[in-house]
Chain A
Amino acid sequence: MYLLKKTQEIPIVNLDVILSNLEELNVMSAVYVKCDGDLHMGALLYLPENKSKILASQLLGRSIHNESEGLTMSSISEIGNILAASITNAISQDTGYKICSSVPGYAVEFFRTLLEAVVSDFGNEFDTLVVSHVEFHGVTSDITIHMLLLQNPSEIKKFMM
């Protein structure tokens, strides 16, 4: 089950509006995929680190211990890759744009750090970013994965052509 929660154009200097109150309480596992080609887009997927270990153990079919950090990273990166690729494939099929995705980047950090890293990687030309927040909810696992799709305002216009 998925839900597009909100799309908003946010000034880069004012990103605090998407920092939740929990941002310094929950450490997140995150995957960042950058898309280039006819369309430039960033996809940041994140979920609380403890939930990511549950998800990784379900994927791998065995429990995840501290010594298996590499396996957690690989499996969560894989999920990020699949979800981001599903979106870019859908966009590509609908628009005919050629889109290339990067190797997924993985991080475990507070949300503020993740957001700052992604925005600084992204925001060269414009003072604002268009950010869409999507939630993916596993009905049986009860795990929610959040995805932020980031684009420069000029890229959004490409959807209207």
Chain B
Amino acid sequence: MKRVIEIKMGGLEIITDKECELKTFVGSCVAICLFDLTSHVASMAHVMLPQKSDGLQSLAQKDIGKYADEALSYMINGMIQKGADPKKIKAKMAGGAAIFEHESETSLFNVGHRNIVYLKKILKENGIPLVSEDTGENFGRWVRFNLQSGALTVASNLKKFEKTI
């Protein structure tokens, strides 16, 4: 039976055990998953925001996944330390929904979209290919990553679907 590690809001985990699965729940936040299947190293972060507004680096390890820039830097370095080949690291992501709908045309709460755009920018800067994504829309998603297969399973209890990307 697989061991499931649940990642809380702003959390981040790196695994090397193929019997482990990483799991989180995202609405407007984004679950970003980096993996190197040949070295069997994977990481998932529950990203809440693109960047920290004060520019200071977080000291707390428990919410190292909160900001996209800090999370990706920590994930890449941590994975390399655990044996990942930086040239073989790939990415998948899910989430970034716009949960609240407005009657006005302009949406004030577009943090989901900003998270997606920013994460794609950092991935590109680091030369990490984004191989699949399930992002946007207006509903929350359960996200599960399997290190053995590299499959990212996305499910919505509200929309009643489950798919693998």
Question: Which of A12, A73, A107, A110 makes the CB contact (< 8 A) with B9?
Answer: A12
For B82-110 the 0/1 string (1 means CB < 8 A from A) is: 00000000000000010111111001110
Q: How far is the CB of A154 from chain B (nearest CB, A)?
A: 12
Given A12-B9, A102-B108, A103-B108: A116 and B52 interface contact (C-beta under 8 Å): no
A13 touching B108, Cβ below 8 Å: no
Residue interface mask B52-79, A partner, CB < 8 A = 1:
1110000010110010000000000000
Taking CB atoms, residues of chain B closer than 8 Å to A109 are 27, 99, 139-140, 158
B134 to chain A, nearest CB (A): 15
Q: Report the separation of the CA atoms of residues A132 and B103 in the bound assembly, to the nearest whole angstrom.
A: 27
In the bound complex, residues from chain A placing their C-beta under 8 Å from that of B9 are: 12-13, 15, 116, 119-120
List which B102-149 residues lie within 8 A (CB) of chain A.
Answer: 102-104, 107-109, 111-112, 138-140
Q: How far is the CA of A117 from the CA of B52 in the complex (A)?
A: 17
Distance in angstroms from A40 CB to nearest chain B CB is: 13
Contact A117 to B28, CB < 8 A, known contacts A13-B8, A13-B10, A13-B11:
yes
Cβ of A110 and Cβ of B158 under 8 Å apart?
Answer: yes
| Stretch of A59-67, A86-94, A123-131, A139-147 with 4 or more beta carbons under 8 angstroms from chain B | A123-131
Mask for B3-46, Cβ within 8 A of A = 1, else 0? 00000111100000000000001111100000000000000000
Q: Is A77 an interface residue (CB 8 A)?
A: yes
Contact B48 A123 (CB under 8 A): yes
Known: A32-B109, A116-B140, A120-B49. A103 touches B63 (CB 8 A): no
Choose one: A77, A105, A108, A113; the contact of B109 (CB below 8 Å). A105
Q: Give the residues in chain B near A120, CB-CB below 8 Å.
A: 9, 27-29, 48-49, 111-112
Given A13-B63, A15-B9, A124-B49, the answer on whether A117 and B99 have CB atoms closer than 8 Å is yes
B158 / chain A contacts, CB cutoff of 8 Å: 27, 108-110, 113
Q: A13-B10, A13-B63, A116-B27 are in contact. Are A121 and B54 (CB under 8 A)?
A: no
> Once the chains bind, are A12 and B104 in contact (CB under 8 Å)?
no
B60, B62, B102 pick with most chain A CB within 10 angstroms: B102
Chain A residues 10-24 with CB under 8 Å of chain B are 11-16, 24
Interface residues of B (CB under 8 A from A): 8-11, 25-29, 48-49, 52-54, 60, 62-63, 66, 97, 99-104, 107-109, 111-112, 138-140, 157-158
Known: A106-B102, A116-B29. 9 other contacts (CB 8 A): A15-B8, A27-B158, A34-B109, A103-B104, A105-B109, A109-B27, A124-B49, A124-B53, A125-B54
